[in-house]
């Protein structure tokens, strides 16, 4: 009879700042929308791009190396000015 093989270790969570951390975090959102009623920017402006899902989409674009489009840059510039006001 052979000895049982040791269980393979479970994968370690990505260390903060590691290349896989952002990818793993982005995959956690299931896009259910339950967070929308508690998101202050979404409640204030009602724009999907101002919701957590919109921000996750932007982070995913960044992780894939895609540049932001002109309309999105304009929106973020205007929004950041409003946040500071």
Going by C-alpha positions, the residue among 23, 3, 5 that lies closest to residue 13 is 23
Q: Which domain holds residue 68?
A: 40-85
**Model confidence, pTM:** 0.56
Query: Is 47 part of a structural domain of the chain?
Result: yes
- Computed from CA positions of residues 16, 20, 22, 28, in that sequence, does the dihedral angle turn out positive or negative? negative
The whole-number pLDDT of residue 10 equals 41
Query: Is 68 part of a structural domain of the chain?
Result: yes
Query: Is 6 part of a structural domain of the chain?
Result: no
Query: Is 65 part of a structural domain of the chain?
Result: yes
The whole-number pLDDT of residue 53 equals 84
Spell out, as residue ranges, where the chain has pLDDT lower than 70: 1-17, 19, 78-85
Dist. CA 29–CA 2, nearest whole Å: 43
Query: Is 73 part of a structural domain of the chain?
Result: yes
If one counts the domains in the chain, the total is 1
Query: Is 32 part of a structural domain of the chain?
Result: no
* pLDDT, tens digit (0-9, with 9 covering 90-100), for 52-74: 888 888 888 878 888 877 777 77
Count how many residues are written for the chain.
Answer: 85
């Amino acid at each position: 009879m052979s000895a049982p093989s040791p269980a393979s270790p479970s994968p370690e969570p990505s260390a903060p700042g590691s290349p896989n951390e952002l990818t793993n975090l982005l995959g956690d959102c299931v896009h259910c929308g339950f967070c929308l009623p508690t998101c202050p920017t979404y409640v204030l402006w009602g724009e999907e791009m101002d919701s957590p899902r919109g921000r996750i989409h932007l982070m995913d674009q960044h992780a894939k190396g895609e540049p932001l489009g002109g309309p999105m840059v304009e929106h973020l510039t205007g929004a950041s000015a409003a946040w500071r006001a």
